[in-house]
Amino acid sequence: MNLLAGKTALITGAGRGIGRAIALRFAQEGANVAITDIRITDEVEEFIAQLNAMGVKAKAYTSNAADFDDAHKTVEAVAADFGAIDILVNNAGITRDGLLMRMTEEQWDMVINVNLKSAFNLTHAVTPIMMRQRSGSIINMASVVGVSGNAGQANYSASKAGMIGLAKSTAKELGSRGIRANAIAPGFIITDMTNALSEDVKKQWAAQIPLRRGGTPEDVAGVATFLASDLSAYVSGQVIHCCGGMNC
Ligand code: NAI
């Protein structure tokens, strides 16, 4: 398949996990891929070399998505290096879980800044580029808990609900310029982020999933590929759940 041939994608927080799986899948579909992460390790550079060996252009940028100026500088650099940005995946995210009454201001601010403000920063920076191109697809990585809420994750759930509102508003503001915006709401996906959860919590999650397994980063990458490609040319302002049928 060559669903993304000739397109350039920028994916934040793609040094590992879901973002990295999206970068690989996009490259397999023929896209040129710019990835960012808060730190780019040798292992990430090896991954970039692997993508380049597939015949697409790929490059990694050290960038803090939560920092407005840094995000804008990174977008400028990507546009200069690649000549276009057709797809933006706002994927960078963290958790700092805790019960609301014990949650510190720092826990709240960090999660809102890294998960939600980052998406504003990047969307703000790519908008003029996509408007000039009169096309673009923006994908916000939300979460099922952004829809359902989750005890112990008030900061994270609020940030992910914000990602949905941001995608829907972007779709309304920029649709007339040919720019689409959607959100993906993954359920329980097995990555380093969820590996940090206790075995008990993981068992509880698995028991609630009709498909009886945690999702893989590749499961989410499939949905992202649909939203990035022209297969979804008439899909905008939507939230696609990727959660194995989990009630949410
Ligand atoms: P992960 O922790 O494996 O990867 C996240 C990446 O983001 C890391 O490489 C990290 O260095 C990077 N990052 C963190 N702060 C950053 C910043 N300020 N600027 C740039 N990069 C930064 O996480 P995972 O599981 O791959 O999650 C990816 C996204 O999917 C996140 O937004 C997460 O909230 C969301 N998600 C994950 C679910 C899961 O079950 N794993 C479920 C629902 C949503």
For 27-39, write each residue's pLDDT tens digit: 999 999 999 999 9
* CATH ID of 8-242, from 3.40.190.10, 3.40.50.720, 2.60.40.420, 3.40.50.10540: 3.40.50.720
Tens digits of per-residue pLDDT, 201-228? Answer: 888 888 889 998 999 999 999 999 999 9
Residue 195, pLDDT score = 83
Percent of the chain with pLDDT over 70: 99
Residue 170 dihedral angles phi and psi, to the nearest 5°? -60, -40
Q: For the chain, what's the residue count?
A: 248
In this prediction, residue 61 has a pLDDT band, given cuts at 50, 70 and 90, of very high
Calculate mean pLDDT across residues 115-138: 98
Number of Cβ atoms within 10 Å of the Cβ of 55: 8
Question: SS3 of 40, please?
Answer: coil
The closest-lying atom of ligand 1 relative to the alpha carbon of residue 220 is: 30
The domain spans of the chain are 8-242
CA count, 13 A, side-chain hemisphere, 196: 6
Helix axes 154-174, 118-133, angle to 10 degrees: 20
Do 193 and 145 form a contact (C-beta atoms < 8 A)? no
Structure tokens at 157: 């759930």
Whose alpha carbon is nearest atom 32 of ligand 1? 93
The closest-lying atom of ligand 1 relative to the alpha carbon of residue 144 is: 43
Has residue 1 got a pLDDT over 80? no
Residues with a CB atom less than 6 Å from ligand 1: 12-13, 15-19, 36-38, 64-66, 91-94, 114, 141, 143, 186, 188-189, 191-194
Tell me which residue has tokens 């805790």.
Answer: 98
Secondary structure tally for the chain: helices H, strands E: 10, 7
